[in-house]
């Protein structure tokens, strides 16, 4: 049986995550308030941030940056792409 949440990002009821995807209070908040669909959107955005900014996710400062961007993306005004970023065009 799937768990549903009222997604803070999508502003509607949607399928929830199976477990907290991040440690600590932020991870619990994501588990409680973010849908699987919104989390997948974040993962795509996070991949873009890592690639465009050449971030090493194992670096503690990079993890702090990603956590702040994650919170903005999922709960706030949104995370903006790096300056000059142009999304790939469909071929």
- Domains of the chain are 4-75 (1.10.3880.10)
Q: What is the pLDDT of residues 37-80, one digit of tens each?
A: 999 999 999 999 999 999 998 999 999 999 999 999 999 988 87
Helix, strand, or coil (residue 31): helix
The structure's pTM equals 0.87
How far is Cα 52 from Cα 21, in angstroms, rounded to an integer?
A: 23
Q: Do 9 and 74 meet the contact criterion of CB atoms below 8 Å apart?
A: yes
Helix, strand, or coil (residue 63): helix
Q: 43 is written with which tokens?
A: 């993962």
């Amino acid at each position: 049986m799937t768990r549903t949440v009222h997604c803070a990002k999508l502003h509607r009821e949607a399928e929830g995550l199976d477990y907290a995807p991040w440690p600590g209070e932020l991870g619990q908040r994501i588990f409680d308030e973010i849908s699987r669909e919104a989390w997948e959107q974040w993962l795509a955005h996070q991949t873009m941030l890592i690639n465009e900014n050449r971030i090493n996710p194992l670096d503690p400062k990079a993890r702090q940056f990603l956590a702040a961007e994650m919170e903005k993306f999922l709960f706030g005004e949104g995370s903006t792409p790096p300056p000059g970023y142009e999304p790939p065009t469909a071929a």
